[in-house]
């Protein structure tokens, strides 16, 4: 078995893991990132990024590359309700004047490649088979199987960024510390051949549908409904495609009419009754980030922004501990508390929206969500971006 040593070993090379690796590498630390997937590859995701997530990409110097990849800038948001339609332009705030919805196979590759360029050791096609512990039970690394055989990664800290069903969280026994009723069912598919003005939402009693433009001239069309409605539609239609078509026709008939000549370019995908939960953020030698830490209903589309926000908080905390400014436990405890406070408002609003309250209450919750996202974006924009410490830069002779 080959042996590798590093400061931080991260399991998962997508939103939370790649961002954490990027920032830690830029801060001058030795980082190994392991993921069983290869990039570029897609993942289940409603990938419209809220302003706070776009702010993070901008602060980290990656937004220009994301836009250059062909993701169209989104400068208008329109809400359609039974009482009429209301549109607004995306204002220039917190350093950005547009939103964006890049496909995950593009976005994740850009961030992971940036992490590798910053010095992170990116090991794709590598499956983590277990965690290593010392005699006191503290996590000290990972066992994995890569393209060249088994490898043991010794690390001062192991980070689980491996999604909702995190193997790291399971291995370390990270408990769920905040669990709320499961949320909506979400289905989505991609359509081509139609030009879209921006993001559009279609609100009806018991449903929320929408569309946002993405790469290749495609648009992601989606619908969120209560799980019981989704299951009933699936039974009636006999297929996921049929259920999606029926639910979309009921939630947004005007959108369906506009899609009449738009070919569907990919299969329908979706989920039902995924949990609203947060796990314990850290323990002896380990920490969690991204969906491994915190998973919420897709109805607000805030997962990528959450992951980027918490990735920076974790990287900052680990940096202070690795440079011996404070004990690791104190740094990670601070990270856990910051993550809990940061998600509090949007998590509550998300769970309330996922219960599909009456329309007037739903609209009010959407206003509160918009205000919370703007406040989060302003807070992030006011922070200095993590930069490498001069004392960690090798000096030329």
pLDDT tens-digit map of 246-286: 999 999 999 999 999 899 999 999 998 889 999 999 999 99
Average pLDDT over residues 106-129: 98
What per-residue confidence (pLDDT) applies to 397? 28
Residues 111 and 27 in one domain: yes
CATH classification at residue 235:
3.30.70.2450
Residues 293 and 349 in one domain: yes
Q: What pLDDT digit, counting tens, does each position of 57-86 carry?
A: 999 999 999 999 999 999 999 999 999 999
What per-residue confidence (pLDDT) applies to 395? 35
Average pLDDT over residues 230-242: 95
Q: Which residue has the higher pLDDT, 366 or 390?
A: 366
CATH classification at residue 122:
3.50.50.60
Contact 378, 93 (CB under 8 A): yes
Q: Tell me the whole-structure pTM to 2 decimals.
A: 0.96
Average pLDDT over residues 217-230: 96
Strand residue runs (E) in the chain: 2-11, 31-35, 76-81, 84-89, 121-124, 127-133, 139-146, 149-160, 176-180, 185-191, 199-204, 207-213, 219-225, 269-271, 276-279, 282-283, 286-288, 294-295
From 271, 303, 330, give the residue that closes a domain.
271
Q: What pLDDT digit, counting tens, does each position of 138-158 carry?
A: 999 999 999 999 999 999 999
Residues 91 and 148 in one domain: yes
Average pLDDT over residues 378-387: 92
| Residue 394 within any structural domain of the chain | no
| Residue 397 within any structural domain of the chain | no
What is the residue range of 211's domain? 185-271
Cα–Cα distance, 76 to 78 (Å, whole number): 7
Instruction: List the single range of 63-72, 269-278, 357-366, 373-382 with lowest mean pLDDT.
Output: 269-278
Average pLDDT over residues 323-332: 97
- Average pLDDT score, the chain: 95
Average pLDDT over residues 19-32: 98
**Among candidates 350, 349, 344, 332, which has minimal Cα distance to 289?**
332
Residues 278 and 233 in one domain: no
Average pLDDT over residues 330-346: 98
| Residue 393 within any structural domain of the chain | no
Is 392 a residue whose pLDDT tops 50? no
Is 386 a residue whose pLDDT tops 90? no
């Amino acid at each position: 078995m080959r042996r590798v040593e590093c400061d931080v070993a991260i399991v998962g090379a997508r939103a939370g893991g790649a961002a954490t690796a990027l920032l830690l590498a830029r801060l001058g630390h030795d980082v190994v990132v392991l993921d069983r997937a290869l990039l570029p590859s897609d993942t289940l995701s409603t990938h419209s990024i809220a302003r706070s997530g776009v702010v993070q990409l901008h602060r980290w110097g990656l937004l220009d590359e994301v836009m250059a990849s062909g993701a169209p800038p989104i400068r208008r948001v329109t809400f359609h309700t039974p009482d009429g339609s209301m549109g607004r332009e995306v204002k220039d705030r917190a350093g950005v004047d547009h939103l964006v919805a890049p496909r995950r196979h593009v976005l994740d590759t850009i961030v992971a490649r940036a992490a590798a360029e910053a010095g992170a050791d990116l090991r794709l096609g590598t499956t983590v088979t277990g965690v290593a512990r010392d005699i006191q039970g503290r996590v000290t690394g990972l066992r994995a199987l890569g393209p060249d055989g088994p490898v043991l990664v010794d690390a001062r800290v192991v980070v689980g960024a491996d999604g909702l069903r995190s193997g790291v969280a399971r291995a370390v026994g990270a408990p769920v510390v905040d669990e709320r009723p499961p949320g909506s069912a979400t289905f989505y598919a991609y359509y081509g051949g139609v030009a879209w003005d921006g993001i559009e939402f279609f609100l009806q009693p018991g449903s929320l549908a929408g569309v946002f433009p993405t790469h290749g001239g495609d648009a992601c069309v989606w619908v969120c409904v209560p799980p019981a409605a989704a299951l009933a539609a699936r039974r009636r239609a006999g297929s996921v495609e049929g259920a999606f078509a029926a639910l979309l026709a009921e939630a947004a008939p005007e959108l369906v009419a506009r899609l009449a000549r738009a070919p569907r370019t990919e299969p329908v995908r979706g989920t039902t009754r995924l949990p609203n939960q947060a796990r314990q953020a850290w323990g002896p030698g380990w920490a969690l980030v991204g969906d491994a830490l915190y998973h919420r209903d897709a109805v607000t589309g805030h997962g990528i922004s959450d992951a980027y926000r918490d990735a920076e908080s974790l990287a900052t905390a680990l940096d202070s501990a690795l440079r011996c400014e404070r004990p690791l436990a104190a740094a990670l405890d601070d990270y856990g508390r910051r993550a809990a406070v940061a998600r509090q408002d949007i998590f509550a609003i998300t769970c309330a929206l996922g219960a599909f309250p009456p329309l007037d209450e739903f609209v009010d919750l959407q206003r509160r969500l918009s205000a919370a996202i703007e406040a989060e974006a302003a807070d992030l924009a006011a922070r200095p971006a993590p930069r490498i410490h001069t004392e960690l830069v090798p000096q030329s002779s």
